[in-house]
């Protein structure tokens, strides 16, 4: 199993920056309506493993359906680099778009498909 590592990431314009500690062992490509259009690849981290560095005031929130997930995106450039919600056990969780992490070779990752359309 890969060791957890702290990655920096953010939006395109740099207004939103954060750090997340994850091992990138599980990276998911969801086919739901929003993920498919965004092209997001997700890794998940507990709230304690996610730290906003700057730009909380630059974030907008989009929710749809059951409104259980907060899809955060930069009001300046429009990039949605992470979402917030709750894991099945009820704990606060961040879903981070791996494509928005600095210096990560997405082509080298094992991508697991997730059938979000069926939920």
What does the alpha-carbon distance between residue 54 and residue 10 come to, in Å, rounded to a whole number? 9
Of 114, 36, 50, nearest to 85 by C-alpha is 50
Domain boundaries, position 74: 5-113
pLDDT tens digits for 41-74? 999 999 999 999 999 999 999 999 888 899 999 9
Predicted TM-score (pTM) of the model is: 0.92
Q: What is the domain count for the chain? A: 1
Of 66, 101, 72, nearest to 84 by C-alpha is 72
Does 119 reside within a domain? Answer: no
User: The CATH number of the domain where 89 resides is what?
Assistant: 2.170.150.70
Does 67 reside within a domain? Answer: yes
pLDDT in tens for each of the 119 residues of the chain?
Answer: 578 999 999 999 999 999 999 999 989 999 999 999 999 999 999 999 999 999 999 999 999 988 889 999 999 999 999 999 998 899 999 999 999 999 999 999 999 999 888 87
């Amino acid at each position: 199993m890969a060791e957890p590592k702290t990655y920096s990431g953010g939006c395109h314009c740099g207004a939103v920056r954060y750090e997340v500690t994850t091992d990138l062992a599980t990276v998911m490509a969801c086919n739901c309506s929003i993920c498919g259009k965004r092209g997001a690849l997700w890794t998940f981290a507990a709230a304690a493993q996610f730290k906003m560095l700057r730009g909380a005031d630059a974030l907008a929130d989009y929710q749809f359906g059951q409104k259980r997930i907060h899809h955060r995106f930069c009001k300046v450039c429009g990039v949605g680099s992470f979402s917030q919600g709750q894991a099945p056990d009820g704990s606060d969780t961040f879903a981070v778009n791996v494509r928005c992490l600095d210096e990560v070779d997405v082509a080298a990752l094992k991508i697991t498909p997730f059938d979000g359309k069926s939920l």
